[in-house]
Structures are given as C-alpha cells and as structure tokens.
Structure 1
Amino acid sequence: MLTLARDTAVEVQSLVQVLDSCAGSLRCHSMILFQDLLVSTTLSADDTVDLFTFAVMRLTSKALSSDTSSWSYLRKGPGSSEISSRSNLAPVGSIDSLHSRNGNNMHHVIRPLQNDKWTKGKDGFLITDIWGLETGGSPDSAIPTIWLQQTQERMYLLAYQHKSLTLLLLMPTNAIVNGDLSISAVKQQVIEDASLRILKIEENISRGWGGENAYHIKGYRYLVVDNDTKVSRSSPSGKVTTLAKESLLALNKLREEVDSEKSRAKGQEKDMEICIRAKNNVWVIARVTRGKELYMALEKGSDTLLDTTDAVGRFSNRYCSGAFLMD
C-alpha cells in the first residue's frame, strides 16, 4: 500500500466518505489506486486482492496504455466441460460464458482480462464491451458486476480515472434492479462531489511520488510481508537485480529455512530470526514476528553480525514502525 503524507491521507479519507455517500443511503465499497499502487480500500482482504489484481492488469492508466498481450480465453474446437458456464465478471442476466456461434466449432468464452477492451470515456469513467453484448440502448446493462466473497453480494463496478489516479466504486446490483438507484445518477454525483478532491489528491501524490524507485532505501535490498493484511512491500525490481548471484542463492536458502520452521510450527505463530553469510560475505537476514516477515540483504562485506543486526533495527524503526525489533 502506498505510504501517504498525513495531509494527503486525510484528503483520501474524506474522498472515501464522499464516494460512499454518492449512492445515498446504500452501502457501497471503494478502492483507490495511484498508478499500480493501492491507496485505499474498504473491501475485505480477500476481495481487495482479487479486485486490485484485476485493476492493475486492466484498469489503471498504465494498463490502458499498455501494448502487452493478455491471457487468451478464446478456444477453438469443442468446448471443455471444465470451463465455468458463467463468469464472476459479467452483467446480471447476461449471456453464458460459453456458447456456440452459428453452429460452428468456434466457442466464445468471456474474457475479463482481454486487452484493449477498456477505454476512458469523455466523462472520466472507464467503459467496456468485454462481452460483446447488445445493450439495447440501456447504459446500465453493460456495466460489469463482481461478486464479493466477504458479503456474498453482486456489485456493479464503476471505474473513474484522472491521470494516474483510478477510483473503483462498487454498488449493490439489487438496488439498480429494484429502481432504487440509477448508475447515471451516481456517475453525475461522483463528478459533482468528488472531482475536485480527486484532482487535488492526484496532484499531491504525484508531487511527492518518487517514481518506480520510490521505495528504494539506500544500502538495503528488502521484502516486507504482512500476512494479516496481505500487503507486501519491497525494493524496486531494478535494484534487486543488482544483487550478486551468491546473494540471491543465500536469500533462496533463507526462505527455505523460514518455510521449514513454519512447517515445524504447524500453523502456530513463532517469532524467529535467521542470519546467513553468503560466500561473497553478504549478510542475508529473515525476521518473522506477529504475522509479519522481513527478508533483507546487506551487501557490505565488512559488516559484522552486530552491525547487521543494528542496521535491521534501524530499518524496522524508521520504515516499519518498529515491527521487527527483537527482544
């Protein structure tokens, strides 16, 4: 999750409240991303992971401008019985995900990850015709829906984008079906009530954003994993590739040691610290405590184990709120 300055974090929280009120008294959910980084979410951990993954692949500004090829779900020949007959990302009451075209052997499978199927409209909202449906003139019938695991609800997915900031708003489909809510009215409400806040937040985050190396910390190559919130943070990939082969092999061995200790603990939480000195004199360290894991490589061959332990402590205090300090 993106680390924000205090004033920007307050602005984001205010925006979340505005988004929640755009559908009146109905319970909505939202997610905010800056580029491909999570800024805010009101979803459960599992639903956050699912929607965030999809958003990064197809909804962010970077994804919309990407020319990379996507996974293909278009099959030739007889349809497989193992393919689900309906997608979790499909309009309510829409076509089955697998059907025959004109009696030939070409079968169409819904492809929510298909490239070039999402575009940005003039009003800032993202639009799609992933399913190739005839909407009959209804603007609501082609709005994607998703299924939330936590609440067991089907929700409409609205995506709004301003430069590098992407907002996802989820609304219960039954409210639309029952006539309690209009998607076009919600869109208008977002534009009227939230657009200025969105513009300001995007400017503030962009001003303080350090680019792809924003999470680089000089002298450290690290990976932090929070198993409770299912959030991870690491050195930029470009910095990780500067590690020597011996360091990477030592890190791999370190992960194996941690996994082995976890297996022996049989699911019970166990605090641990493991240090290995690689053949090139690099120290690699793992600390596991209270559901959080830290893996680190320090490529100063002259450092002693005490120096290394102190360096990890400084990192924990400054960047992890002291989460990895060991007694």
Structure 2
Amino acid sequence: MGLSSANTVVNEGFQFCIFDLRRGQHEGQELDKILFFYPADLPFSTQLSVIGLSEGLITFTRIFSPEAACEVIEAERNSHVFHQAEPDIWMVMVVEKSKESDSIWRIDALRRVLKEVHSLFVMFHGSIRSLLDKDPSGELVRSHLYAFIMDYLSDFLVGKKIKLPSFRDCLKERGTVQMLTVGREAALEVQSLVRVLESCAGNAPCYSLVLFQDLLVSTTLSPDDTINLFTYAVLRLAPNALLSRASSWSYLRKGNTASQIAAASVMASSGSVSEQFYGSRDTSPHGGERSHHVVRPLQHNKWYKGMDGFLVTDIWGPEVGSMVSATPTVLLQQTEERMYLCVYQHKSLTLILLFPISSILNGEQGISVVKQQIVENASLKMLKVEEKLSKGWGGENAYHVGGYRYLLVDGDRNVSRASPPGKVTTLTKESLISLSNLREEIDLEKSRAKWDDPGHEKDLEICIRAKNNAWVIARTTRGKELYMVLEKANETLLFASDAIEKFSNRYCSGAFSLD
C-alpha cells in the first residue's frame, strides 16, 4: 500500500492519526473512533492512548478558547499538532523532539501537511464524513484513508525514515501555487488557447489549468481548487513527476526516488494487525462482498503519455463492462461537482481539463469525442504556446536574485515565489535555523492577531543578526509576506534595510517599502 510501517520504515518519533469524536463513545467500542493510525502496527492500547490524550487536550483547550480549535500543544518530549479537518473529525500529528538537527520544525509547516493531505483526499474521494455515512462500519473510509495517506507519506521517505518538513524548508510555503511570469504576447496566446479548449467541449462547461514545467500559467478554477489540482500536478502529472526524478527547482517537496521504489515494493502482510483493523487490502473491483476497489491516485509511476498526447492511467480501474481504463474523476471544492479529469502534455506544457460528469453525454464515449475535438482543433495552438513559453523561460534559476535568498508569499492570492532550492542549499545551517525560528514567531503573531482583531491585519518588520552574522529578515503587510536571508551583507542594519527596499521596489512593486 505505498509503504508499510512493518519491519521496513523507521517510524520512531512520529505518529499520525485521524479519529471521529462521534464514534466509539460506549465501553467496548473505543476502536470505532480510529479511522487511521500510523504506525498501524502499534498495539491498539497504544493507539487508543494517543487518541485519548488528543481528545483530552481538545476538550481541555475548548474551556479556555471555545471559538478557536486547538492547533498545537508543546510537551517536554513531543509536539502535538492538531487540525480539525471536518466537524468532529480530527487529524493529529505527534512528533518527538530530539537532538537531531532535522528535528527542528515549524508548527505551521506541519499543520499545512495535515491540511494538504485532507484537501487532496477530499478532491478524489469526497469528505470523510460522506464515506462514513455511506458505510457506517467505517471499513470503506479506513481502507481509502490508509491507502491514500501511506502513498502520500511515501514522498517524505528518505532511506527508511520519514523526514517531515524541517528548518531546511523554511523558504518554501506549502498550500500555495508558483506562477510563471509571462510577457503580454505569450499571455494572449494562452488566453486564445483556453478559449479554443472551451469551444471543443461544445455545450459542456470546461475548466482548465495550464502549467509550464512545475509553474502555473493560467487557471479558470477557484483558488482552493487551483491549489489542489496544482499540487497534484506537481506531485504526479508534470513532466518531472512522470520521469520519476525530483526537479532541482520544484517548489514542492518530492521524495527520494530510490525510497519511492523501495516503498512501493513493501506490502503489509495479510495477517498483520493493521490488515485486520483496516479491513481488506484487496483493491480489485472483483473482490469479496466486503472488499472495496480503492482508488490510489497518489501511487507513483502510474501515469503514462498516450499516442494522442493525453496522459492515461489505470488507477481508476476499468470502465464498467470494458477492459478500457476509466477516465479519472475529481470533486471540485467550490461547486461540489464530480468532474472528469483529462490531462494533455506536450514537452514542458501540461493542460489539465475538467468536464462535469453530468454534462458529458454517453460518459466515457462522450469524453473520447471531446478529446478527439481537442486533438484536431487545439494541437497547433498548444504547440505554439509551448514554443513561446520555452523561449521566454529563464531556466531553473529564472527567479534567482543575486545576493538574496528569499520567500515571497501573497496570502490573498495563495501565490508564492522563492529562491531556487539549489541556491537555498548554499545557506548555512545557522541561517536556516534562525529564519525558521523567526517564521515561527511571525506565525504566532499572525495567530494572535487573527483572534484578537479578525478584521485587521498586523504589519510586522523584524530584522535579526544571526550568530553567523547573516541578516534574517521578515516583513508582512496587507496580506503579503517577505522572508529573506542576507549572508554576505554589510554589518549595519541600515545596509540590510536598504537591501530590502531595493528588492521590494524592483521585484514586489514596492509592496514592502517603508515609504
């Protein structure tokens, strides 16, 4: 199932669980509340102990803050990170504090992992509550959660150990998209392509995302749906993902390729405790009456490029009454409508097209007709767009700014831009730890401001001289955030402040200038 915790992955110091507060309220039924637990081979008594403690902390914190859900509890040995994914359904990550340098993390970064895995799960399978309503026994949702989350965690597998986002990732922002800057002529070509694609669908609505490499060029979806589809595209659909090699400039973390191969080959034994608890692992649609066909969209190396340019996969199983693979589907968050997912790729250009299932006549046959229309009417336009974007593309270091290591976040648009990872690796450990600690302070200030005065965003500016004499800087204003490390800067604060002003005026339209 992607990766197994049994005898293979070193999982000391990391626990991840999902539970439902509405279930298991009677003596002898406590296990019913557990929907997912990692490591799954821990004794049930240990699992219940972790979840019982989490329930107690949630209940206790509600006494003092009934309107604000518990987000984190710091204990002497562990950090307990909480996310209320749905009403009464909680996701909790327990990470052990240790002396290892990579165990220095930022709580908001861990919470974003919880939010991301839930958002992706809902996009493919629907809400956890809806699956529980469909099968009150919990077997359906457990089998889906287990497969999905284990495949998701395989991206964090390094060797035999799961490596969560640490201080080394402080110049990244999960849950945002990274945009490609294009000129006016290229932008007009992209708009023209989108109109042609929409016309190919006839009377059916057509939503689209256009990506170049791992960067977003255009979207007609809502912000939340854009983030979900963009994240999935970078993880599994973009050219670098299809080639099963981590891009040196991708802004989203990818797992070690060797680890992915090792993880994919590991299966939980049929007689294991986790097997008994989570129900049948038979993913065949022709299994027994109690088995479920578990769609695993986060499996590695399951998408291939077809002869017509569209990507194909057998993840969704065969079409009913046919040997042909069914077209993938996703659920849009904004409209709560199930959509066909079609992906076309030409060199570095990836087009993600969504069509409402209810609007496509004859189902799979109708989708085949739409694809044929796209190939016949939009192929030349797609070639032209890819050529123009390639000519204007500056390579993996396109957004590098000499002398700066930075992260720019626009919270209102859910967009971020950062120094290329290859350049970030040149920073010293001291600089990265200092910036991670600074971001933790900013996160706390933002959280306090959100509850103290929800209608007012607080402007902040902090400049710190690190132990290695680097300047570590944070500025937030009007929904935008800028984080920066200057290792080769002059010793004076005036020099550092001037460097920020120059960066703001040249690359941020003066958004962070003090004038």
Match of 1:112 in 2: 297
Match of 2:209 in 1: 31
| 1:116-155 equivalent positions in 2, closer than 5 A | 116-133=301-318, 135-137=320-322, 142-155=326-339
CA contact (8 A) 1:75 1:106 kept: no
Match of 1:239 among 423, 439, 462: 423
Match of 1:50 in 2: 228
Q: What is the aligned-residue RMSD (CA, Å)? A: 2.9
Match of 1:3 among 145, 156, 181: 181
Matched letter for residue 191 of structure 2: Q
Match of 1:62 in 2: 240
- Measured after TM superposition, the shift of residue 189 of structure 1 is 1.8
| 1:12-23 equivalent positions in 2, closer than 5 A | 12-23=190-201
Change over 3 Å in CA distance of 1:180–1:131 after alignment to 2: closer
Match of 2:219 in 1: 41
Match of 2:71 in 1: none
- Measured after TM superposition, the shift of residue 111 of structure 1 is 1.3
Match of 1:284 in 2: 472
CA contact (8 A) 2:316 2:328 kept: no
Matched letter for residue 224 of structure 1: L
The answer to whether the aligner puts 1:256 opposite 2:450 as a matched pair is no
Match of 1:326 in 2: 514
Change over 3 Å in CA distance of 1:214–1:56 after alignment to 2: same
Q: Matched residues in 2 for 1:127 and 1:145: separation?
A: 12
Q: Matched residues in 2 for 1:97 and 1:55: separation?
A: 24
Q: Matched residues in 2 for 1:53 and 1:82: separation?
A: 29
- Which region of structure 1 is more displaced relative to structure 2, 175-184 or 284-293? 175-184
- Measured after TM superposition, the shift of residue 100 of structure 1 is 7.7
Change over 3 Å in CA distance of 1:34–1:56 after alignment to 2: same
Q: Matched residues in 1 for 2:441 and 2:197: separation?
A: 45
CA contact (8 A) 2:357 2:363 kept: no
Match of 1:88 in 2: none
Match of 2:391 among 207, 229, 238: 207
Change over 3 Å in CA distance of 1:82–1:102 after alignment to 2: closer
Match of 2:483 in 1: 295
Matched letter for residue 223 of structure 1: L
Match of 2:413 in 1: 229
Task: Count residues with an aligned counterpart.
Answer: 314
Q: Matched residues in 1 for 2:307 and 2:221: separation?
A: 28
- Which region of structure 1 is more displaced relative to structure 2, 144-153 or 315-324? 315-324
Matched letter for residue 374 of structure 2: V
How many percent identity over aligned positions?
A: 63
Aligned with 1:212: secondary structure?
coil
Aligned with 2:180: secondary structure?
coil
Q: Matched residues in 1 for 2:317 and 2:267: separation?
A: 13
Matched letter for residue 148 of structure 1: L
The answer to whether the aligner puts 1:183 opposite 2:367 as a matched pair is yes
Match of 1:270 among 458, 465, 481: 458
Q: Matched residues in 1 for 2:305 and 2:239: separation?
A: 9
The answer to whether the aligner puts 1:198 opposite 2:382 as a matched pair is yes
- Measured after TM superposition, the shift of residue 303 of structure 1 is 4.6
Matched letter for residue 342 of structure 2: L
- Structure 2 runs not aligned, ≥5 long: 1-178, 246-256
Q: Matched residues in 1 for 2:279 and 2:436: separation?
A: 36
Aligned with 2:403: secondary structure?
coil
- Which region of structure 1 is more displaced relative to structure 2, 168-177 or 264-273? 264-273
- Which region of structure 1 is more displaced relative to structure 2, 308-317 or 153-162? 308-317
Match of 1:216 among 397, 400, 421: 400
CA contact (8 A) 2:205 2:359 kept: no
CA contact (8 A) 1:278 1:284 kept: yes
CA contact (8 A) 1:75 1:107 kept: no
- Which region of structure 1 is more displaced relative to structure 2, 153-162 or 11-20? 11-20
Q: Matched residues in 1 for 2:466 and 2:482: separation?
A: 18
Q: Matched residues in 2 for 1:6 and 1:26: separation?
A: 29
Q: Matched residues in 2 for 1:55 and 1:66: separation?
A: 13
What is the CA deviation profile of residues 64-93 of structure 1, one whole-angstrom value per residue up to 9, with x for unaligned ones?
A: 11163277696553464599x9xxxxxxxx
CA contact (8 A) 1:98 1:110 kept: no
What is the CA deviation profile of residues 147-167 of structure 1, one whole-angstrom value per residue up to 9, with x for unaligned ones?
A: 001011100011101001010
Change over 3 Å in CA distance of 1:35–1:200 after alignment to 2: same
CA contact (8 A) 1:280 1:301 kept: no
Matched letter for residue 136 of structure 1: G
Q: Output the TM-score relative to the length of structure 2.
A: 0.56
Change over 3 Å in CA distance of 1:27–1:80 after alignment to 2: farther
CA contact (8 A) 1:215 1:236 kept: yes
Change over 3 Å in CA distance of 1:247–1:116 after alignment to 2: closer
What is the CA deviation profile of residues 108-158 of structure 1, one whole-angstrom value per residue up to 9, with x for unaligned ones?
A: 63211112221111110111111332553486x700110001011100011
Matched letter for residue 200 of structure 1: K
- Measured after TM superposition, the shift of residue 249 of structure 1 is 2.3
Q: Matched residues in 2 for 1:211 and 1:240: separation?
A: 16
